Amino acid sequence: MHITSINSLNVFLYKLKLTVMKKIVAFGASSSKKSINKILANFAAKQIEDAEVNLLDLNDFEMPIYSVDYENEIGIPEQAYKFKNELSSADGIIISFAEHNGSYTAAFKNIFDWISRVEKIVWFNKPMFLLATSDGARGANTVLKIAHDRISKGGQLDIPSFSFPNFNQNFDNKLGIMDENLKIEFNSFIKSFSEIL
């Protein structure tokens, strides 16, 4: 290829960068408009170098509550295929889980159930980073454990997981992670995830 001017060199470098950039799909496993888990998932994705972030909102994938009868009568809703397409286009997936009554939010569980009906390989065995946060000291670690056990099952890759405690105290929208030790720990998980991307 002949590079005849600075402009075409810039275009060439831009295209080259796009081809090497990793695509990260990130979402908070919550339908709350002010979801702290969505903020955390986005923040984590933005820490990955040379990555393009696609932040999903679960409200864009709202479907009827899963039932075998609905599936038999009407089929799988289009949003489930849309969600799967987003996952399949990613090089890596970041999810931050909100905890409701010690488990998944209904919004996430419904999407999980529907996409598991599209095909058995739900997360495509892609590199994943699982997080969870709440405004309490336990950092939604119960749901994180449930999610990690389930999503790791049968997969070949180790999935890093990190529970972020006391979100409102430890995170600032402009400054990011406020606690130094937490920041160091968080960054080590980002590094582990980047290495499997």
Whether 62 contacts 112, CB under 8 Å: no
Chain position carrying tokens 């039932």: 67
Measured distance CA(41)–CA(36) in Å, rounded: 9
By CB under 6 A, name the one of 21, 32, 71, 196 that touches ligand FMN. 32
**Does residue number 36 form part of the binding site for ligand FMN (CB under 6 A)?**
yes
- CB closer to ligand FMN, 103 vs 194: 103
Q: Which of residues 128-187 bind ligand FMN (CB under 6 A)?
A: 134-136, 138, 140
38-97 positions binding ligand FMN, by CB under 6 A: none
Instruction: Give the C-alpha separation, 118 to 78, whole Å.
Output: 10
d(CA 108, CA 91): 21
Minimum distance from residue 171 beta carbon to ligand FMN (Å): 12
Q: How many residues bind ligand FMN (CB under 6 A)?
A: 16
Tokens 């923040």, residue?
43
CB of 102 to ligand FMN, least distance (A): 5
Kindly state the smallest distance separating residue 28's Cβ from ligand FMN, in Å: 5
* Min dist. Cβ of residue 132 to ligand FMN (A): 9
- Residue whose pair of structure tokens reads 């600032």 in the numeric block: 172
Q: Which is nearer to ligand FMN, 104 or 189 (CB)?
A: 104
Element (H, E) at 132: strand 128-133
Q: Among residues 184, 36, 157, which one has the least CA distance to residue 97?
A: 36
Query: How far apart are the C-alpha atoms of 16 and 84, rounded to whole Å?
Result: 27
Minimum distance from residue 91 beta carbon to ligand FMN (Å): 24
Any bridge partners for residue 119, and if so which?
A: none
Interface ranges with ligand FMN (CB under 6 A): 28, 30, 32, 35-37, 98-102, 134-136, 138, 140
